[in-house]
Amino acid sequence: MSTDYTDHRLAIMGAGVMGTNIAALALGHGIPVVLVDVSEDVLAGARRTIAQKLRHAQLMGVLPADRPQGELMTSLSPHDVADATTVIEAVTEISETKAQVLTEVSQIVKPGTVLISNTSCIPIDEMAAWVARPDELVGVHFMNPAYLITMVEIIQGSGTSDTTMTAVTELLTALGRKGLVVRDAPGFVINRLLHPLINSAAMLVAEGVASVEVVDGLLEGCLGHSTGPLRTADLIGIDNLVDSLNVLYERTGDERCRPCDLMLDKVKEGSLGRKSGRGFYDYDRGI
């Protein structure tokens, strides 16, 4: 691996919110991307989303001006990742789904290919049992939007090799990102703190203590949060949050991580956040 962006070929498994975010980041830094999903309709939508994100990134001036944009290839076949130097798994936060994807990919890629999981909460050591070479597996928690947020959380499993850690650092440098390394645990640092906070904020709204706008306004105005927890929930995707909270609750027993009824109701009615046009806020009406 190298910090030279031309030496990297990235494959991303999963064309959802984070898959398209990471793809836009890589393409904007000149790195070619193979994006794999199970639906051509999803991939068609992903191509449009990535183009929008790249335009936004260019308008914000956050992409290197001296690099040509990387080439995007989309595919329905995991076998198209065989020549990647790094594969990033960015599928939904459900153990069975991640296990299926990581098991298959680890058998396709060549030894020495780094496998990154963009896991929200599932421990890396748990995932290590699913791959052919556990020493090549590491967690990298990109934030949304990945092309704007320059810090990432790196999760080193007990079996993650020093070679893999060096390779990940080099890739992140080529992407213009900085990482802080944490030890493996359910939810790691960011989501072990953030997800229960969002769940508690939703509980306060459900109990009638305050409106969505007031809860967010207080955390922004009093605590200096750039975005309140409930607008953050809409950005992440409320369905993704519920999946992650379930992972945390199952693995820690922390009652703060049991998804509250308001969050569950929003998922049932399809109010998932920005991606569906409505969540805690109504984006169809621009609020």
Give the tokens for residue 62.
Answer: 């956050």
Per-residue model confidence (pLDDT) at position 67: 93
The CATH homologous superfamily of the domain defined by 5-183: NAD(P)-binding Rossmann-like Domain (3.40.50.720)
- Give average pLDDT by consecutive 10-residue segment, the chain, 287 residues: 78 96 98 97 97 96 94 98 98 95 98 97 97 98 95 97 97 97 97 97 98 98 96 96 96 96 98 95 73
Pairing of β 137-141 and β 114-117: parallel
- Choosing from 8, 29, 141, 195, the catalytic residue is 141
Q: Is-catalytic flag, 141?
A: yes
Domain boundaries, the chain: 5-183, 190-276
Global confidence as pTM: 0.91
Per-residue model confidence (pLDDT) at position 2: 54
Pairing of β 86-89 and β 10-13: parallel
The CATH homologous superfamily of the domain defined by 190-276: N-(1-d-carboxylethyl)-l-norvaline Dehydrogenase; domain 2 (1.10.1040.10)
Pairing of β 178-183 and β 151-156: parallel
Asked whether the CA dihedral 126, 130, 133, 139 is positive or negative, the reply is negative
Decide if 227 contacts 220 (C-beta within 8 A): yes
Per-residue model confidence (pLDDT) at position 4: 78
Q: 10 in helix, strand or coil?
A: strand
Per-residue model confidence (pLDDT) at position 264: 98
Per-residue model confidence (pLDDT) at position 3: 59
